[in-house]
Amino acid sequence: MSDTSSFDYLVELSRRCQLGIGGLPSGRDRAAASWSGVGFLLGEHYCVAAMDDIAEVLTEPASTRLPGVKPWVRGVANVRGRLLPLIDLTVFLGESKATEQRQRRVLVIEKGDTYLGLIVDNVFGMQHFPVDQYRLDSVHASARLAKYAQGAYEHADRFWALFRPSQLINDTDFYTVAA
């Protein structure tokens, strides 16, 4: 194909595309507004965290146990040359472990100077919820989880507690790690 015929082809393609463009949907045809987050399991509780609160999701790395700390502090792991403190969030919240070790994942939180990994029972990936399904109360969450959750989404006969890592990071109990 010569340069002229290539250009003519692109001009013709552009013209055909412009003829086929319809108007944007209006009124009831619009897609419902939705909110997306990372879904995960803590014991028997389904949770979701905002996408911008989670830096990455990892399989549980090998870690070095730290002496003299509470059982929910799993230790530290070397992740790409950085030491990542690992916290078993299920144990911290007093929930029983519901899944096998191989299903557990680490939600990496990186906010300012804070860099830590929260071990959860399972991760379900991105979850999408219609915004009108949000409820401000977290009545279906345990008392410990409700302290770090802000409302819930009801979707497919299931309540997903909206987990706020910032509330966990700002809690002084979270930093009391000495056994």
In this structure, is residue 14 part of a structural domain?
Answer: no
Rounded Cα gap, residues 36 and 131, in angstroms: 9
pLDDT at 21 over 70: no
In this structure, is residue 156 part of a structural domain?
Answer: yes
Share of the chain above pLDDT 90, in %: 59
pLDDT at 19: 74
In this structure, is residue 19 part of a structural domain?
Answer: no
CATH number of the domain encompassing residue 42: 2.40.50.180
pLDDT at 23 over 60: no
In this structure, is residue 7 part of a structural domain?
Answer: no
In this structure, is residue 63 part of a structural domain?
Answer: yes
Q: Alpha helix locations (H) across the chain?
A: 3-20, 89-92, 143-146, 165-169
In this structure, is residue 6 part of a structural domain?
Answer: no
pLDDT, tens digit, 9 for 90 and up, residues 32-54: 689 999 999 998 899 999 999 99
Number of domains in the chain: 1
What does DSSP say about strands 114-120 and 122-130: parallel, antiparallel, or unpaired?
A: unpaired
pLDDT, tens digit, 9 for 90 and up, residues 131-177: 999 988 766 778 889 899 999 998 888 999 999 999 999 999 898 88
In this structure, is residue 23 part of a structural domain?
Answer: no
pLDDT at 29: 46
In this structure, is residue 58 part of a structural domain?
Answer: yes
Q: Which residue has tokens 């003519």? A: 8
Residue-number span of the structural domain to which 160 is assigned: 35-175
